[in-house]
């Protein structure tokens, strides 16, 4: 098991390393920027909890490639389907990550991709249904990094 | 960067109305526009910004990608197969290039 | 670099590297597309003195998502490079107007098991060859083409394509050929040599601390059976010598030169340490 100390060290290393080599000194996305992106996607509505499940690792071995899966509970018929799901990350240079668009031909509203997370942060997924209602789920992903190079 | 190469995994057969799983992968650096090169200058952004999957001309699944999608973008999603036909996959690059792949499926 | 970042770096790289955390490697079997791999094997007995009773694949030390990525050849992005390697195999280059396939035909047949037996003594050169050097020998002597530069994309992808033909086959090198034993000995000496500001040998991390965490990294035995390996960090396939150089750089020592005898001796010795493990190329690591 991972100790708390190891987690802290990992996070701090990433921040230090990112400042030096990986990133060109970005302003990190803030929680406010993420809230603004949520508002832009939902049309100002506050998404409700439920119906959408976001699966992401508790600990990502490398922030360069973190698998995330979204699944939304929906009959996926012409009259009632999931229109889109957006994924946001509140600790990246920009909160936007990816937006999936589904149709009744998708069969089920589920998708997996691999994303970049610059540090430990919250990943948020918001689903927009064909009737305009919105739902969200969020997970914290701890991002660790190893030795000083390697 | 070498020319991006798509890989797609679609079952060859399905029964009518069956929901199948599709996996896709394409080689691409997904240069985020956030990294500095050895010369200290920011490497300009160049990513795949859109992925689409159609079946017999009908939209099945799409994704808008931002620079936070990992290099060599991977997607796994589902599709309902009403009849025999062809899946068409399209990846759109920031530089305007379009990469495509097609896979046939038979409904029995 | 501002002062604070520098201070943070110095602190992190100089403070206790190995955390108290320790974890056994997972007790799981790796099946790649349903094909079982040997990820644990009794250590080779000849020559005597192997430090472990059981040699273990680095796969056993990775997190579940990284392990899953290797277990499905479709989800493994390293397979994109293997497919590129196949194109290189079939491409005519050089004045002789030949491709690898012109002489070696279908790699699935002619290269099966070859990657598992390298490095291998090359009598003509009077030294061990790894797959990379053998490719360059064929390019210059047989194809009248230029040798690849160290870590050229085509070199890495072609090496992965050749090694992938041995997927699942246990690593076994011939130490009785030529002067292999003296290279093994040189490699061994290098493995235990402490270098750099941190004064670490390979063995400090991969033997004494194998199973411990180096900050976030669960330290493995440092075996070479998965190379070239897809690393999430680089989002690309990484050669064995690139990994060796990275590990040496981590100790703040000057990494050995590309294609140097020092790296080749290490490759001979490290391959022996992992004998019995399946070739996993392209493995997936963090």
pLDDT at A136: 97
**CB-nearest partner of C216 from A64, A145, A149:** A145
Q: What is the DSSP string of B59-75?
A: EEEEEEE-TTBPSS-EE
Q: Does B9 touch chain A (CB under 8 A)?
A: no
Query: Shortest Cα distance from B59 to chain C (angstroms)?
Result: 24
Q: Does B39 touch chain A (CB under 8 A)?
A: no
B61 burial (CB, 10 Å; 0-12 / 13-18 / 19+) is buried
Active site residue C247: yes
Rounded-to-integer distance, Cα A44 and Cα A31, Å: 16
**Closest by CA position to B6, among listed B97, B91, B70:** B91
pLDDT tens for residues B56-107? 999 999 999 999 999 999 999 999 999 999 999 999 999 999 999 999 999 9
Cβ A29 vs Cβ A90: under 8 Å: yes
Helix C153-164 with C78-89: angle, nearest 10 deg:
100
Is the CB of B5 less than 8 angstroms away from the CB of C77?
no
Distance of CA B97 to the CA centre of its chain: 13
Which of B8, B72, B73, B77 is the mutation pick for testing C, counting most C CBs within 10 A?
Answer: B72
Is the CB of B5 less than 8 angstroms away from the CB of C236?
no
Distance of CA C123 to the CA centre of its chain: 23
Q: Which of residues 111-170 of C touch B (CB under 8 A)?
A: 153
Which of C73, C75, C76, C80 is the mutation pick for testing B, counting most B CBs within 10 A?
Answer: C80
Is the CB of A144 less than 8 angstroms away from the CB of C215?
yes
List, in order, residues 6 or more apart from A74 with CB less than 8 Å away: A51, A80, A81, A82, A108, A109, A129
Which chain A residues are closer than 8 Å to B79 by Cβ? 105-107
Which chain C residues are closer than 8 Å to B36 by Cβ? none
**Matching CATH number, C78-164, of 1.10.760.10, 1.10.287.130, 3.30.465.10, 1.10.10.10:** 1.10.760.10
Active-site residue, from C100, C202, C205, C247: C247
Taking CA–CA distances from C14, the nearest residue in chain A reads A148
Q: How many CB pairs under 8 A join B and C?
A: 30
**Closest by CA position to C63, among listed C220, C194, C168, C249:** C220
Pairing mode, if any, of strands A52-55 and A66-72? Answer: antiparallel
Domain residue extents for chain C: 26-70+170-285, 78-164
Is the CB of C80 less than 8 angstroms away from the CB of B70?
no
Q: Does C189 touch chain B (CB under 8 A)?
A: no
**Closest by CA position to C217, among listed C28, C22, C34:** C22
Distance of CA A99 to the CA centre of its chain: 10
pLDDT at C250: 83
Both structure tokens of C15? 């403070």
Q: Which CATH superfamily is domain C26-70+170-285 in?
A: Cytochrome c-like domain (1.10.760.10)
Cβ A44 vs Cβ A35: under 8 Å: no
Cβ A138 vs Cβ A91: under 8 Å: no
| Residue C140 to residues A140, C98, C134, C145, Cα–Cα distance (Å) | 53, 11, 10, 5
Cβ A125 vs Cβ A87: under 8 Å: yes
pLDDT at C16: 54
- Give backbone dihedrals phi and psi of C109, rounded to 5 degrees, phi first: -95, -50
pLDDT at C216: 80
| Placement of tokens 């068409």 in the chain | B88
- Give backbone dihedrals phi and psi of C136, rounded to 5 degrees, phi first: -65, -35
Is the CB of A61 less than 8 angstroms away from the CB of C214?
no
Cα dihedral: C67, C68, C69, C74 (round 10): 140
Rounded-to-integer distance, Cα A16 and Cα C40, Å: 37
Task: Determine which helix (DSSP H) or strand (DSSP E) holds C66, and give its type and residue range.
Answer: helix C64-71
Is the CB of B27 less than 8 angstroms away from the CB of C75?
no
Q: Which residues of chain C fall below pLDDT 70?
A: 1-20
Pairing mode, if any, of strands A48-49 and A134-143? Answer: parallel
Q: What is the mean pLDDT of each run of 10 residues along chain A (150 residues)?
A: 36 36 51 92 94 95 94 96 97 95 97 95 97 96 62
Both structure tokens of B99? 């990469």
Is the CB of C79 less than 8 angstroms away from the CB of B5?
no
A32-39 own/partner pairs: CB under 8 Å, 24+ apart? A33/A90, A33/A94, A33/A95, A34/A88, A34/A89, A34/A90, A34/A95, A34/A122, A34/A124, A37/A86, A37/A88, A37/A95, A37/A96, A38/A88, A38/A124, A38/A126, A38/A136
- On the question of pLDDT at B32 being above 60, the answer is yes
* Chain A positions touching chain B (beta carbons under 8 Å): 21-24, 26, 64-66, 69, 76, 89, 92-94, 96-108, 110-117
Three-state SS string over B3-19 comes to CCCEEEECCCEECCCEE
**CB-nearest partner of B72 from C84, C153, C235:** C235
End-to-end CA distance of chain A: 23
């Amino acid at each position: 098991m991972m100790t708390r100390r190891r987690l802290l060290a990992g996070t701090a290393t990433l921040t230090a390393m990112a400042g030096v080599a990986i990133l060109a000194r970005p302003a990190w996305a803030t929680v406010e920027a993420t809230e603004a992106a949520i508002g832009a996607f939902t049309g100002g509505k506050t998404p409700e909890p439920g119906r959408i499940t976001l699966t992401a690792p508790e600990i990502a071995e490398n922030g360069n490639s973190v698998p995330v899966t979204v699944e939304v509970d929906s009959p996926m018929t012409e009259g009632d389907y999931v229109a889109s799901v957006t994924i946001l990350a509140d600790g990246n240079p920009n909160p936007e990550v990816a937006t999936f668009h589904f149709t009744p031909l998708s069969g089920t509203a589920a998708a997996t991709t691999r994303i970049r997370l610059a540090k430990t942060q919250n990943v948020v997924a918001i689903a927009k249904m064909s009737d305009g209602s919105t739902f969200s789920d969020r997970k914290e992903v701890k991002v660790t990094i190893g030795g000083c190079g390697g | 960067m070498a020319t991006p190469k798509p890989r797609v995994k679609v079952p060859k057969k399905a029964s009518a109305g069956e929901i199948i799983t599709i996996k896709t992968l394409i080689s691409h650096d997904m240069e985020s526009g956030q990294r500095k090169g050895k010369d200290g200058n920011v490497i300009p952004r160049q990513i795949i910004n859109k992925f689409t999957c159609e079946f017999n001309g009908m939209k099945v699944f799409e994704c808008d990608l931002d620079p936070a999608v990992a290099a060599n973008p991977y997607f796994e999603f589902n599709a309902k197969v009403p009849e025999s036909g062809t899946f068409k996959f399209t990846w759109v690059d920031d530089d305007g290039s379009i990469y495509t792949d097609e896979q046939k499926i038979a409904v029995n | 670099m501002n002062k604070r970042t520098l201070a943070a770096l110095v602190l992190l790289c100089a403070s206790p590297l190995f955390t108290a955390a320790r974890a056994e490697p997972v007790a799981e079997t790796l099946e790649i597309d349903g094909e079982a791999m040997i990820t644990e094997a009794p250590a080779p007995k000849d020559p005597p003195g192997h430090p472990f009773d059981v040699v273990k694949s680095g796969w056993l030390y990775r997190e579940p998502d990284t392990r899953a990525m290797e277990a499905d050849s479709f989800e493994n992005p390293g397979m994109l490079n293997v497919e590129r390697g196949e194109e290189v195999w079939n491409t005519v280059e050089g004045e002789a107007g030949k491709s690898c396939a012109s002489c070696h035909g279908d790699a699935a047949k002619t290269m099966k098991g070859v990657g598992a037996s390298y490095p291998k003594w090359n009598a003509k050169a009077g030294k061990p060859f790894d797959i990379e050097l053998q490719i360059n020998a064929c390019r210059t002597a047989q194809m009248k083409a230029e040798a690849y530069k160290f870590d050229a994309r085509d070199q890495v992808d072609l090496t992965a394509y050749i090694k992938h033909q041995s997927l699942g086959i246990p690593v076994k090198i011939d130490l009785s050929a030529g002067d292999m034993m003296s290279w093994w000995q040189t490699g061994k000496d290098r493995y235990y040599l402490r270098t750099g500001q941190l004064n670490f040998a390979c063995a400090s991390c991969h033997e004494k601390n194998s199973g411990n965490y180096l900050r976030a990294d669960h330290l493995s035995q440092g075996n070479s059976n998965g190379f070239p390996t897809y690393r999430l960090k680089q989002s690309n396939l990484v050669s064995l010598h690139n990994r060796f150089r990275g590990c040496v750089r981590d100790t703040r020592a000057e990494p050995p030169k590309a294609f140097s005898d020092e790296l080749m001796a290490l490759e001979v010795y490290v391959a022996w340490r992992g004998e019995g493990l399946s070739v996993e190329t392209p493995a997936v690591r963090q």
